[in-house]
C-alpha cells in the first residue's frame, strides 16, 4: 500500500514548502497539487535539476474541490499513478473544507487496498 498524506494550508507555497520538508529524498515520490503554482514554489527547483537527478513526479490539477467538482480528475490521476505505486504520495488541497469527505473517498474501494492514509499535514 502506498503511504498517502493530505496537505492543507492557506497558500500553495506554504503547502509546497511543507511537502518539500516532508519528502524522503531519493524515494519514489509523487505529488498531486490542486491549483496553480505561485512564484515562490520550492518545488519548482526540482524541474531545473539535471537529467538523472532525483526528483519527485509532480502532477498539477485544476483548482476545484477534489471530492466534488474535481473528483473525476483526481480519480483519473490517482489511477494512473497507482499503476506503478510510488513510495510516498502527497495530495495538496487548495481548500480544506471537504478534507473529511476526501479522506472518506480515499478510504473506500478501490483505494482502501491501494492507499494507506496517514495524518494530514497542515502547512
Per-residue pLDDT tens digits of the chain, which is 123 residues long: 999 999 999 888 899 999 999 999 999 999 999 887 777 788 988 888 888 889 999 999 887 766 666 688 899 999 999 999 999 999 999 888 889 989 999 999 999 999 999 999 998
Residue showing cell 480519480: 75
Domain total of the chain: 1
Quote the domain boundaries for residue 18: 2-122
d(CA 9, CA 11): 6
Evaluate whether 114 touches 28 at the Cβ level (below 8 Å): no
CATH of residue 60: 3.40.50
Residues 6+ apart with CB under 8 A from 63: 34, 35, 36, 70, 94, 95
Closest among 121, 123, 117, 114 to 103, alpha carbons compared: 117
Amino acid at each position: 500500500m502506498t503511504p498517502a498524506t493530505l496537505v492543507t494550508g492557506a497558500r500553495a507555497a506554504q503547502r509546497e514548502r511543507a511537502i518539500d520538508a516532508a519528502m524522503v529524498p531519493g524515494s519514489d515520490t509523487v505529488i498531486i497539487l490542486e491549483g496553480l503554482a505561485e512564484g515562490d514554489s520550492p518545488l519548482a527547483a526540482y524541474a531545473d535539476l539535471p537529467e538523472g537527478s532525483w526528483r519527485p513526479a509532480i502532477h498539477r490539477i485544476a483548482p476545484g474541490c477534489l471530492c466534488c467538482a474535481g473528483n473525476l480528475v483526481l480519480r483519473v490521476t490517482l489511477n494512473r499513478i497507482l499503476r506503478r505505486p510510488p513510495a510516498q504520495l502527497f495530495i495538496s488541497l487548495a481548500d480544506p473544507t471537504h478534507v473529511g469527505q476526501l479522506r472518506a473517498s480515499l478510504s473506500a474501494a478501490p483505494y482502501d487496498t491501494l492507499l494507506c492514509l496517514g495524518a494530514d499535514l497542515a502547512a
